[in-house]
Chain A
């Protein structure tokens, strides 16, 4: 479906997967809209997101198989069109830097709000411009701040299960370890080991996510919801976005495991490295998040 066609005046390049993928993003939009609207069916929203993921995974598998089976495949046959060589992972570093901005914003706002509202941290009486209620909340009023607690007045140490989450953090760190082993195996050109370590990474990531889902259901049953004051709002915002990134990571790692399975990973380990960068980033974000949300 991706062809080079040449006629007498110029060559024509087209790909039919590209518009299919581009237009399927309508399912991301519909999914977001159905999940985050009280009147609409949330389940249908998840169905839409799954449809998009299916299209994306189908496209990725098609790509992987073509690149492995057909050395001539692709828009550019080799790298001769590049006049300045950059390492393969440059675009991942670029992308990660925008993700850094994204997470600094979320985690930063959440923590800044906490510094302004939580008397236990000792900043609420400050008269400076930062972390000061009257500055941050220009329409602020003393009585409406319930502090950094849920609807029953319990703080983070009482509401959140720190033991289970600490174990979960260790689990995620283990997955980063397996990712490193996968990269080592790919540099050693061992496709079996690479595939196995990558599959292990994805599996451990899935365990992490399952524990998170379990924790969410426990919290929601206890009545701790996104509506539970700023504590609840920021908790679900941070962990929710992080969980979504872990899910995307699991999909990427699984696709890379498939690539290793059919023997097509880069023999210098550069493509496993790219996925590994994303995975390690997600892990680092979790460690920071865990510290600031659970431990502090």
Chain B
């Protein structure tokens, strides 16, 4: 961006543009800001929980009532309004430029899909449901606020499907002439696979949520035990969406990691085609493994074996991708900058989380781990250590082109130095409390066996959570301050061979 452009008032000072923009870059920024705001709210919710869990015993009686609500809201809002919204934001910002298109296929529906998230989030936050985000009946079909929550989920899901169709149509019809799908960059491919999953899986959660609402409001007996089909049916349906949903969350992170590692290693990604196929394999296999959330529900030995086997299979493409990232960097001229470090943080988190995934997938071990904090540690390593790390890296990578200013690099390195131990302490702490038997969604652990060990590891977790908070505060401060007082970014602030995210050759 030129200096004249910076002296103009930013676009978001103009209410017509702030609300009505159909430009993909501006909508991308709206999504990203929305994601960061929800990250702050949802993070604050869970920090309240972590403070309570620092000591055994109840410090604040109100927390006994609030705890389930905070934990449920944290789950829903992180999934739908931080990771999914953030990924859509990056997709919006980057995909058209990367494929050479003017904008998305439907620029106005792009705007509509964003603004739908506002009432969606409002409903989810105000529903105050306390069942955990997994909404298992019969508790959930008796809970207050279910109608409002389902309203929010329907809006969030519809927004996601509109966005998915928009991305798919854009990528399939608006690529610049000569750009074949095979050559297309890996981030755009990750958006393709993400959109396909969203498109196919979202009807499942819509049906499930409505059936649950019918159980509560109309007295139907889909998931209840009175002349009904039972809670296990709900779990099958719920995880039929929610397992593919976790791949919706991880795939854009994989695409961004590929892009950042390749740019900062100044080299094309090793095994470009195998990366595309691996993402596809992960997306497709992701639909076949939902039963691994139900190992302890006694669905039968044969299904349990099948789900275990298929889940282990997902490790193969995941491993291929991890090795390809490493091979991309092997003997490369690497620019050590914030974005690259955070993407390396992704690989670390993904591997640590993946390893604990192997553990929970092992049938006999899952009987010990199920419904303990071990599972919570597993998936947070993947989402936070993995996806969120790379999203932070991508924010730093795009910040110069988005704002025209350069962030403070030293602060970013310090942030990284706090972030890695931060998430390792938090989620390894959870793995350990889980090993010592800490159940999920408990507001307290007084009276459980291994109290001393539990107390120690809960404290480790809480300290790690506050380290994460420190690192986010550093980031917000860095970006905010740099916007006003930072140096002008120039054309190639990272001194890369290919300075922009969309060019193929220098």
Interface residues of A (CB under 8 A from B): 1-2, 8-9, 12-19, 21-23, 25-26, 28-30, 32-38, 40, 75-76, 81-86, 90-91, 94-95, 98-99, 101-102, 105-106, 109, 113, 129, 135-141, 144-146, 225-227, 229-230, 232-233, 236-237, 241
Partner of A37, one of B2, B210, B217: B217
- Nearest chain B CB to A5 CB, angstrom units: 9
Assuming the contacts A18-B111, A22-B113, A83-B174, asked whether A136 and B233 have C-beta atoms less than 8 A apart, the reply is: yes
Whether A144 lies near B23 (C-beta < 8 A) is: no
User: For A29, what are the chain B residues with a Cβ–Cβ distance below 8 Å?
Assistant: 119-120, 123, 148, 151-152, 154-155
Place the interface of chain B in its size category: 35 or more
- Which of B50-58, B218-226, B314-322 makes up part of the contact surface? B218-226
Knowing that A28-B154, A141-B225 touch, tell me 19 more A-B residue pairs with CB under 8 angstroms: A8-B4, A9-B5, A12-B11, A15-B107, A16-B16, A18-B111, A22-B114, A25-B120, A29-B148, A29-B152, A32-B154, A40-B147, A94-B168, A101-B203, A129-B300, A138-B299, A139-B225, A227-B218, A227-B221
Whether A25 lies near B119 (C-beta < 8 A) is: yes
User: For A241, what are the chain B residues with a Cβ–Cβ distance below 8 Å?
Assistant: 210
User: For A22, what are the chain B residues with a Cβ–Cβ distance below 8 Å?
Assistant: 111-116, 118
Q: Is B497 an interface residue (CB 8 A)?
A: no
Q: Is B20 an interface residue (CB 8 A)?
A: yes
Whether A12 lies near B219 (C-beta < 8 A) is: no
Please measure, in the bound complex, the distance between the C-alpha atom of A225 and the C-alpha atom of B102, giving whole angstroms. 53
Whether A36 lies near B213 (C-beta < 8 A) is: yes
User: For A236, what are the chain B residues with a Cβ–Cβ distance below 8 Å?
Assistant: 214, 218, 220
- Nearest chain A CB to B238 CB, angstrom units: 12
Assuming the contacts A19-B115, A36-B218, A101-B203, asked whether A2 and B151 have C-beta atoms less than 8 A apart, the reply is: no
Please measure, in the bound complex, the distance between the C-alpha atom of A135 and the C-alpha atom of B109, giving whole angstroms. 43
- Nearest chain B CB to A275 CB, angstrom units: 17
The 8 A-B residue pairs whose C-beta atoms are closest, nearest first, are A22-B115, A227-B219, A29-B151, A233-B220, A26-B119, A138-B232, A137-B230, A14-B20
Q: Is B101 an interface residue (CB 8 A)?
A: yes
Partner of B232, one of A25, A84, A136: A136
User: For A35, what are the chain B residues with a Cβ–Cβ distance below 8 Å?
Assistant: 217
Partner of A226, one of B20, B101, B173, B214: B214
Partner of A82, one of B174, B225, B302: B174
Whether A81 lies near B174 (C-beta < 8 A) is: yes
User: For B297, what are the chain A residues with a Cβ–Cβ distance below 8 Å?
Assistant: 138
Report the nearest B residue to A139, measured CB to CB: B230
User: For A21, what are the chain B residues with a Cβ–Cβ distance below 8 Å?
Assistant: 112, 115
Whether A86 lies near B172 (C-beta < 8 A) is: yes
Assuming the contacts A18-B108, A29-B155, asked whether A136 and B150 have C-beta atoms less than 8 A apart, the reply is: no
Whether A82 lies near B303 (C-beta < 8 A) is: no
Partner of B16, one of A14, A129, A141: A14
